[in-house]
Structure 1
Amino acid sequence: MLSTAAMPDQGEIWYRDRRVIEDLAGIRGTIGYLPADFQPYSHMTPRRFLQYMAVLKGVDPGIEVEERLARTDLVPVCDVRISKLSEGTKRRLGIAQALLGSPEVLLLDEPLTHLDGVERRKMIEFLTRYARGRMVVAVSHELDEWDHVDQIVWLEQGQPVFFGPPALWVTGLGEKVWSKVLDPEELEGLESRRILARRWTGDRVRVRLFARMAPGDGFREETPTLQEAYVIRREERRIGS
């Protein structure tokens, strides 16, 4: 609904003191949108597809398209049929079309899907810079990669259950994160659902888990990652429900 692709059954959506229902065309001109199920025309090339989308958005299809191809590392494949591209490359094309016209509001649904580690880091760095003076909203189930965001919104069944900065997200918890290097047999005494991560070093394993109190001698309290805080909050809501 924020992308104006659908209208709400109840309530209203406002952008900068403007009601969507009163200025739909004007507001859409300020929004860039990448849906989760982005499917570009497979018979086109990335360059042709962006030119097509630029015309639909009322954007000059010349320099703008070439800039977006370069920004999303699509120049080497810009004249290859989309049907022959990898899913990660298609995802970058989806981000490129959302950026056409340098929209004030950028709405991205799982933008990092199918991207490799290097591509993910580059894209997050770019989006962090792009967000200066603009609004970028990214939907993601992998929170740790978004540690530079200004605000986190957690939705459950369509309802917001948390809204605030990352510092509050990782500190306002009823449980704490603990770590320790253990022998394999010591793992048997731990609740598996409370284990957040385990990393083997030789024949021993470093474990991160959550609990209200230290689960034993030698455990060290750690700062939760964004993803760990999500796991803890989800468990707290499950127990409280």
Structure 2
Amino acid sequence: MNDIEFHSVTKEYKNHVKALDAVSFSVESGVFGLLGHNGAGKTTLMKILATIMQPTSGKISVCGLDPQKHGDDVRRMIGYLPQELNMYPSLSVFDFVSYMASLKGIKDQKQIKTVLEQVDMAQYAARRIGQLSGGMKRRVGIAQALVGNPQILIVDEPTAGLDPEERVRFRGVLSRFAKDGKCVLLSTHIVEDIYQLCEQLAVLRKGKLFFYGNTTTLLSKVAGKVKIVELADENELLALQRKTPVLSTTYEHNSIQARIMDENNLFSVPAVAETLEDAYVYCMGGKEYE
């Protein structure tokens, strides 16, 4: 049985804007990636799964349970790290995680020590939240999500703004959690995190499911079609964007190197090795639409 199943999940606001439009896919154990631009609907989907928000229509199944009917049971299965977690700067790391645990009805102090060890923060248990770096705060955020030994961990943009070393450390925490047959739903717009952690992923675009499958299938969409062409100036770049998706640009001394998706074989230059970022930018419509 899949850990999570989304069935035609739609969220429409009063102004008739659809944050989600009939989104359907399933998530099994391991680390599953949810990719998309800011505003694509990722956070809305996470909040609905975490029972913070109700869908306008559609259903979600969490380990066979309906969150709308079995909210307490589902919440006990889920650990959640939102994109913005309000912390109390005057509290120590230990006291903050202990407070968050008490909100879940958990008073076992050993659990607090265990989750701090899991995220490499045990040595900073006495330090005040206000004295922590951004990366340390994100690790404390994961620690509070791990309290209660959840089956499913939901993390929304966990590595945004972190330095490369802290991102690697964070990915290690998520990977270790998923090794025990548990499920991590990782919502992000950072392609490198998906590449390092996930085999299965979904791409949301303007509230709709644009792609669902594995990274190999996503890469196959751009295989043999990624090329690099040299342009003289911005005018040539603008003209090129009207013909084909531009994936990225690099400015040299007197020219522009444009990495493009040449679907119609407009240029007789050899293709280069495709990357997951190429495939993702292509799914999003190319740089001209960002």
Normalised by the size of structure 1, how large is the TM-score?
0.82
Q: CA deviation at 1:131?
A: 1.6
Letter of the 1:228 partner, please give it: D
**SS of equivalent residue, structure 2 residue 283:** helix
**SS of equivalent residue, structure 1 residue 70:** helix
Match of residue 62 from structure 2: 15
Equivalent-residue separation in structure 1 for 2:107 and 2:224 (angstroms): 53
Say if 2:224 and 2:272, in contact at 8 Å, map to a contact too: no
Q: CA RMSD in A?
A: 3.1
1:156 counterpart = 2:205? yes
Match of residue 36 from structure 2: none
Structure number with greater CO (CA < 8 Å, separation at least 6) is 2
Say if 1:33 and 1:108, in contact at 8 Å, map to a contact too: yes
1:45 to 73, 76, 92: 92
Equivalent-residue separation in structure 2 for 1:119 and 1:125 (angstroms): 10
Deviations 1:140-192 (A, max 9, x none): 11112221313211122322221111111121249821247x6x859985547
Equivalent-residue separation in structure 2 for 1:186 and 1:199 (angstroms): 10
Percent identical across equivalent pairs? 28
Q: CA deviation at 1:77?
A: 2.8
**Structure 1 residues 126 and 90 mapped into 2: Cα distance closer, same or farther (>3 Å)?**
closer
1:75 counterpart = 2:130? no
Deviations 1:95-149 (A, max 9, x none): 1111112211111100112322111112213312322311111111111222131
Say if 1:175 and 1:232, in contact at 8 Å, map to a contact too: no
Equivalent-residue separation in structure 2 for 1:47 and 1:130 (angstroms): 21
1:194 counterpart = 2:246? yes
**Structure 1 spans left out of the alignment, 5+ residues:** none
Match of residue 219 from structure 1: 270
**SS of equivalent residue, structure 1 residue 178:** strand
Q: CA deviation at 1:33?
A: 0.4
1:167-206 alignment runs, 5 A limit = 167-173=216-222, 176-179=225-228, 191=240, 194-198=246-250
Question: Which has the larger displacement, 204-213 or 95-104?
Answer: 204-213
Match of residue 210 from structure 1: 261
**Structure 2 spans left out of the alignment, 5+ residues:** 1-47
Match of residue 45 from structure 2: none
Say if 1:88 and 1:113, in contact at 8 Å, map to a contact too: no
Say if 2:151 and 2:183, in contact at 8 Å, map to a contact too: yes
User: Greater share of strand residues, 1 or 2?
Assistant: 2
**Structure 1 residues 114 and 235 mapped into 2: Cα distance closer, same or farther (>3 Å)?**
closer
Q: CA deviation at 1:206?
A: 7.1
Match of residue 131 from structure 2: 84
Normalised by the size of structure 2, how large is the TM-score?
0.69
**SS of equivalent residue, structure 1 residue 19:** coil
Say if 2:80 and 2:153, in contact at 8 Å, map to a contact too: yes
Match of residue 5 from structure 2: none
Match of residue 111 from structure 1: 158
1:62 to 82, 88, 109: 109
Question: Which has the larger displacement, 138-147 or 184-193?
Answer: 184-193
Q: CA deviation at 1:9?
A: 2.5
